[in-house]
């Protein structure tokens, strides 16, 4: 896999360099985290235990101004443990709302597939509409609001797979692989150095600077030909040579997500325009989790990411 490098200067560039320094071998994850925070989307990170998923989000929380909360999902978690609850104050006879951990700028939902469906549904409203409804009263979440969820692919006992509607709310779904020997040695060296020197991340991006960066991302030029390329990629999951492999194709939300992510990646590369390479680099993470393969394709060992890879070879930019 290509190892992207953020080429821009300024606070976002400083943030990228700090994250890369503390997340050895995870340049792709760093890029996806930055794409998510710049485009206002949510991120799902999947990988085996011990490959720095939680560390990545904690470093991001330390480096960006704003509040942070972590939710460790378990099968007995209740929706109110996430969203908050109302309590009665007998001393003055009033009902008070006590906000839950979701009322923070950055929320880490660790091992989200261990949360029961009711909790996943409560998170759905928060991710989709930046609000939660408690006792018929709607409460707005802080801005900016970003959910980074993690899941462990090697354990299935006591887990509740995310439904397609929940997966569709994530801008990107990143799948992390185990490091090679050289990278693992660098990780070991980093941990040893931190143990001796006490190295820790520090804030390099304020909320005002983040808002300014987001505004700049929204102005990134997306040429009509590039928009056509995105639409042709997405609609190819519904018709054509690959349609027989796909039971549920990518919805228009996939086009919107891919366009937003491509703009953010172009910004990170120091450009004021997006290129087909931005779309191609993000297509797998932006589209694969939004489709469901037909049973025959699954039985033959096909994966959604493999189908997206074939689509990229078949559908060429204009």
pLDDT at 124: 87
Tell the burial category of 22 from Cβ atoms under 10 Å away from its Cβ (0-12, 13-18, 19+). buried
Q: Domain of 299?
A: 220-314
Evaluate if residue 310 carries a pLDDT over 70.
Answer: yes
State the total domains in the chain: 2
Verify that 173 and 236 share a domain, yes or no: no
Q: Which residues pair with 173 in a beta bridge?
A: 44
- The reply to whether 225 and 273 lie within a common domain is yes
Domain-located, residue 91: yes
User: How does the average pLDDT of the chain come out, rounded?
Assistant: 91
pLDDT in tens, 37-60: 999 999 999 998 889 999 999 999
Q: How confident is the model at residue 2 (pLDDT cuts 50, 70, 90)?
A: very low
Q: 55-106: per-residue pLDDT in tens?
A: 999 999 999 999 999 999 999 999 999 999 888 888 887 888 899 999 999 9
Q: Which CA distances in Å does 170 have to 23, 196, 239, 256?
A: 22, 38, 24, 12
CATH of residue 165: 3.40.50.300
Each residue's pLDDT tens digit, 143-165: 999 999 999 887 666 688 888 88
Decide if 192 contacts 282 (C-beta within 8 A).
Answer: no
Taking the C-alpha atoms of residue 29 and residue 112, their distance in angstroms, rounded to an integer, is 18
pLDDT of 188-244, one tens digit each?
988 888 776 666 788 899 999 999 999 999 999 999 999 999 999 999 999 878 888
Q: Which of 162, 197, 232 is the last residue of a domain?
A: 197
Whether the predicted pLDDT of 6 surpasses 80: no
Same domain, 187 and 248: no
Task: Determine the average pLDDT of the residues in 259-283.
Answer: 96
């Amino acid at each position: 896999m290509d190892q992207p490098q953020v080429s821009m200067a300024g606070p976002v560039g400083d943030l990228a360099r700090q994250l890369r320094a503390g997340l050895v071998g995870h340049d792709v994850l760093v890029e996806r985290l930055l794409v998510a925070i710049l485009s206002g989307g949510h991120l799902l990170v999947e990988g085996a235990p011990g490959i720095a998923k939680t560390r990545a989000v904690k470093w991001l929380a330390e480096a960006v101004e704003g509040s942070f909360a972590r939710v460790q999902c378990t099968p007995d978690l209740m929706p109110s443990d996430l969203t908050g609850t109302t309590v009665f104050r007998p001393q003055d006879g009033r009902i008070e709302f006590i906000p839950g951990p979701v009322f923070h700028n950055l929320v880490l939902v660790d091992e989200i597939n261990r949360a029961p469906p009711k909790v996943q549904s409560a998170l759905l409203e928060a991710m989709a509409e930046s609000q939660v409804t408690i006792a018929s009263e709607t409460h707005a979440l802080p801005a900016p609001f970003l959910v980074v969820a993690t899941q462990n692919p090697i354990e299935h006992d006591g887990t509740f797979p995310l439904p397609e509607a929940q997966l569709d709310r994530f801008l990107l779904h990143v799948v992390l692989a185990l490091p090679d020997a050289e990278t693992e040695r660098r990780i070991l060296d980093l941990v040893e150095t931190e143990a001796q020197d006490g190295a820790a991340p520090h804030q390099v991006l304020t909320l005002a600077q983040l808002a300014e960066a987001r505004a700049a991302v929204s102005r990134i030029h997306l040429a009509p030909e590039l928009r056509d390329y995105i639409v042709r990629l997405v609609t190819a999951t519904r018709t054509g040579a690959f349609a027989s492999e796909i039971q549920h194709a990518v919805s228009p939300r996939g086009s919107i997500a891919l366009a937003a992510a491509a703009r953010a990646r172009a910004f990170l590369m120091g450009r004021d325009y997006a290129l087909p390479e931005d779309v191609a680099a993000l297509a797998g993470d932006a589209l694969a989790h939004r489709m469901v393969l037909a049973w025959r394709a699954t039985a033959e060992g096909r994966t959604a990411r493999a189908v997206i890879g074939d689509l990229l070879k078949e559908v060429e930019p204009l």
